[in-house]
Structure 1
Amino acid sequence: MTTSSPPPLIALAAGGTGGHVFPAEALAGILLERGYRLALITDRRGAAYGGTLGRLETHRIRAGGIAGRGALSKLRAVAELGLGVLQARSLLKRIRPAAVIGFGGYASIPGMVAAVAAGIPTAIHEQNAVLGRANRLLASRVGRIATSFAEVSHVDPRLLPKLVHIGMPVRAAVAALRDAPYPPLDGDGPIQLLVLGGSQGARVLSEVVPAALAQLPAALRLRIRIAQQCRPEDLDGVARAYEGAGIACTLQSFFADVPERLTAAHLVIARAGASTVAELTALGRPAILVPYPFAIDDHQTANAHAIENNGGAWLMDQAGFTAEALAARLGSLFSQPGILARTAGCAARAGRPDAAERLADLVAGLITPMPGD
């Protein structure tokens, strides 16, 4: 008589911003559908996760970021990471995962270091077009490096055989809309414009976009329907600016329905974070991307360049992102809807809407014994 063994347990090491968390959530959904058991290894911020990650068996360990800190803070962060590695080693001995998958950010480091030391199959996923600091630390130690972009900088050439271009996994709500066609834009119809500023909004977008739209001809302003994410303290001022320009607007500090708004948009103006770029390309929507200029390693500029080079977006660096420059760009684009439609097509071709499935396949390959093993 034989007894069936439980399905393999996969541990996901993730935490921090949406760019690290969204792909972990997307992968978790696919792995659960395939029958795997899952555990999440994260830091103290893991208590706030909802969705699929919020339903997983969650283990919180110590972690601390090092980049950009003073000497004393770095010492404390190293101590936190060391304690986190000890916690992770004990945890992995107890839960015995078949593989551990990391998603960058300092929250992933202890779990990944402990997994490598224990000889557990490992892989990391890099969301940006620049290999992040945490993933750079881990790259030589893990088994595979999954990337969102075909070309990623700051990768040691000796590690290139480990790289697998799978794309950036997107949330299930985005993936469900990936076949929605680009909305037609006729000569007199409304123009749907969406402005996203990242998880906290972006002040520069709240200052420049209303001033730019106010410079457009009156007939064009009457056609614009803008939905804009703003910081809470900017909402009233932005609303007054649009009211004065006669532009219909919907303003919120957080949009719960971003996938639907992206699908309806003729044009998006946004930062160039990994999750934003992934959703734009998964849905095939043209964008003006304004990278956050103070990000470590300037990874948002690299992300924006990658999509612009594929013809799916226009990069405007923040120094040149003025009301006059944006008004000129918008006036040109809105008078040539064919350009917007072609750019939407290029954005769609640059995307990998099946990235979560591809990453799940990579995970399965890590734990499936090869013939003769």
Structure 2
Amino acid sequence: MTEPRPVVLATGGTGGHVFPAEALAGELEARGVPFALVTDARGRQWQGALARRPIHYVHSASPTGSPVRRAIAVLSLARGLLDAWWALGRIHPSAVVGFGGYASVPTMIAARLRRLPAVLHEQNAVLGKANRLVQGGAARVATSFSATRHIGEGDRRARLVGNPVREPVRALRGSPYRPPGEGRVIDLVVFGGSQGAASFGKVVPDALLSLPAAIRRRLRVVQQCRPEDLGAVRERYGKAGMVVELAPFFADLPQRIAAAHLVIGRAGASTVAELATIGRPAILVPYPYAADDHQTANARAFAACGACMVIAHAEFTAEALAGHLLALFGQPQRLAHMAAAAHAAGRPDAAARLADVVGDLISTPALSPTGVAA
């Protein structure tokens, strides 16, 4: 039997783009469908399913900053288009799936020029700038939220699949949530990534230390901190005698989330998808400088189903956070309802659903970019 032609995965280098690409790669492998990865130089650091196949590199850059930087970026993307054209010619794929990020743009344009079936996957509740540049050549646009800005309601290409998460996260889907009992330990997990750790390192300790002593004694805190902030944050908690574990990075973060009674974090697409898959309540503070303010859109969509509370970054003060914590810790059943709502919003089969979209597209000949058979 002839091996099926590979599916090309085109993605940027950040975790928000890489995780869903890795999840789809694993699903394709399980179905006996080969894949090839086309990305920029940042792909050299990847492991897991994405590293089990040869990686094809293209030039790319983000056209932001000064006019000179933008001009250099455009030239780099043009060079990347040539790289991608030749790479697709060598790979001879059955379809191309783009996950956003400017590193995916040359490959998605090359796919259109070669008239290859193409799928876009958007992780956020706002179609990203890179995906907006290339959406005209996509036969399908797979979304993670039921409403995604910049995708028209009547767009027949749109398919709601969810945001694929890593296998260690999916494995925790069945972890039950038990609200903190009266007088029992309250497990709190705080993480904000490199874009959140600075403000979190000040506001969260201030808020927790302002809580009544009876609540402080019950808290068991796991908090991500920037390396340069670790000493100061540890000293602040230590003076209050609180039980706290601090680190710049937690390799077992999914397990930490599963053990939490409440999570405080940013509202990146992967964070929201992981909270929903595991089913944990959260206070989300959207990063205000995210492109197109997509984190606020993600957080509002998650809050609309009752899964989280949202604090705007400008309003993220110790007083505001302490008020929310007092309200939630005083109503454990409310935490349980939020956890149930988060769990109900989860789509643990997102990778399988995305693979189905790709499979249907490959088996449907001559699809035009509008999703209508030519």
TM-score of the alignment, normalized to the shorter chain, above 0.5: yes
Structure 2: how far apart are the matches of 1:101 and 1:205? 35
**Identity within the alignment, %:** 52
| TM-fit CA distance, 1:264 | 0.4
Alignment partner of 1:19 is 2:21: no
- 1:102–1:124 contact (8 Å) kept in structure 2: yes
| TM-fit CA distance, 1:348 | 1.1
Name the SS for the 2:323 alignment partner. Answer: helix
User: Where does 1:151-190 land on structure 2 (aligned, <5 Å)?
Assistant: 151-156=147-152, 160-190=155-185
Letter in 2 for 1:325: A
Alignment RMSD: 1.6
Gaps of 5+ in 1: none
- 2:10–2:108 contact (8 Å) kept in structure 1: yes
Residue number in structure 1 paired with 2:87: 91
| TM-fit CA distance, 1:184 | 3.6
One of 45, 50, 57 as aligned partner of 1:53: 50
Letter in 1 for 2:293: D
Name the SS for the 1:238 alignment partner. Answer: helix
Greater Cα offset, 258-267 or 361-370: 361-370
Letter in 1 for 2:273: A
Alignment partner of 1:7 is 2:4: yes
Alignment partner of 1:149 is 2:161: no
Q: Deviation digits for residues 22-66 of structure 1, max 9, x if unmatched?
A: 100111111101101111000010001122212221011101111
Letter in 2 for 1:248: V
- 2:5–2:92 contact (8 Å) kept in structure 1: no
Letter in 2 for 1:103: F
TM (norm. structure 2) is 0.96
User: Where does 1:95-174 land on structure 2 (aligned, <5 Å)?
Assistant: 95-156=91-152, 160-174=155-169
- 2:273–2:346 contact (8 Å) kept in structure 1: yes
Greater Cα offset, 199-208 or 312-321: 199-208
| TM-fit CA distance, 1:209 | 0.4
Aligned residues: 368
Displacement over 3 Å in runs of 4+: 369-373
TM (norm. structure 1) is 0.96
One of 76, 82, 88 as aligned partner of 1:80: 76
- 2:163–2:270 contact (8 Å) kept in structure 1: yes
User: Where does 1:30-49 land on structure 2 (aligned, <5 Å)?
Assistant: 30-49=27-46
User: Where does 1:277-296 land on structure 2 (aligned, <5 Å)?
Assistant: 277-296=272-291
One of 49, 53, 66 as aligned partner of 1:70: 66
Residue number in structure 2 paired with 1:226: 221
| TM-fit CA distance, 1:198 | 1.9
Q: Deviation digits for residues 277-324 of structure 1, max 9, x if unmatched?
A: 100011110100001111121000010000011110000011111111
Letter in 2 for 1:145: V
| TM-fit CA distance, 1:15 | 2.1
Structure 2: how far apart are the matches of 1:320 and 1:199? 20
One of 313, 325, 332 as aligned partner of 2:327: 332
